[in-house]
Amino acid sequence: MRFGIIGTAGIARKALIPAIERTEHTVDAIASRDESRARSMADEFDIPRAFGSYEALVAAPELDAVYNPLPNGRHAEWTKRAADEGLHVLCEKPLTADADEAVSVVEYCRDAGVTLLEGFMYRYHPRTERAVELVEAELEGVHAVNASFKFRLDGRPDDVRLDPSLAGGALMDVGCYAVSAARLFLGEPDRVYARTRDSRGAGVDTDLMGILEYDDGAMAHVDGSFDAPEVQRYRVEAENGWVEAQPAFNVAADAPATLEYAIDGEADTETFEPVDQYAEQVTAVAECVDSGAEPRTGGQEAIANMRVIDALYESAERGAPVAVE
């Protein structure tokens, strides 16, 4: 597949472009609203075409798909614009600014006949697949998940992640991973309760802590933060054991990953050889395009995750539990 990159975001330089280059697929074009930035990155990665507008990229011939790493508040528009041109879309998480917008984007891509995949790359790491296998096959009476993604966002007061008009905030940027992991292991919650803090006076949450409650008594604790030393972790608790991953989400392509667990009194640690989970995600896009299958992190999954995120924000605003619609 021939990919175009919408924008020159850091994640494209650090992760996605190198990941595509590790596969049989190619990056054939990149765009920025500042053409000199697009040309600079094109030169850095030997990308054949550079454009000074997103419009020019999505209209360019001989592309099959785009990667959309724009700020959260611009995901919907440019995912739809790409779909208008028949381009498949790998969109960074979260897919949209809220669940209603997610529904609109998913339906739009479906009607356009294009594949849409939300970029939760950790879901494509073999360790995550193994964790799911253990939880489903070996753990009994799973009743709790603790999931966290925190880091310090220092020295960048103009960072788009602090801009409320672009759907910034810690929950949207990293807490969404914790929500995704809780749902992966426990399913869809019935209600949530959350508290937030805005330590920068930016108009977005820089800390969020939330509880996901289930009618069967299970619960999950999720949090995301821009104000803490880095933590990436999930731990699944059951009556006969537990499963834990750390760092859980952003694993370097050249680093091994471990999965710790104890089941029926027997503890073990499995080590996974280095793998580029972003490359695995790119491969998944192509495979779903070829087969017509729904991606592991496809549209319906994105909508479900956004419904929980919306409920967490509503709960924090109201100071009361909120049902997940």
155 has a pLDDT exceeding 90: no
Q: What is the CATH topology of the domain spanning 2-121?
A: Rossmann fold (3.40.50)
SS3 label, residue 5: strand
157 has a pLDDT exceeding 90: no
- Residue type at 157 in one-letter notation: P
pLDDT tens, position by position, 197-215: 999 999 999 999 999 999 9
Query: What average pLDDT does this structure show over 100-109?
Result: 98
Q: Which class is 123-276+298-323 in CATH?
A: alpha beta
260 has a pLDDT exceeding 90: yes
Query: What average pLDDT does this structure show over 35-44?
Result: 98
* Cα–Cα distance, 226 to 107 (Å, whole number): 33
The gap from C-alpha 126 to its chain's centroid, in whole angstroms, comes to: 16
Task: Provide the annotated active-site residues.
Answer: 93
pLDDT tens, position by position, 13-23: 999 999 999 99
114 neighbors 106 (Cβ within 8 angstroms):
no
| H helix or E strand, kind and range, residue 311 | helix 299-318
Instruction: Count Cβ atoms below 10 Å from residue 24 Cβ, excluding itself.
Output: 9
Q: What is the mean pLDDT of the chain?
A: 98
Domain layout of the chain by residue ranges: 2-121, 123-276+298-323
Beta bridge partners of 89: 66, 116
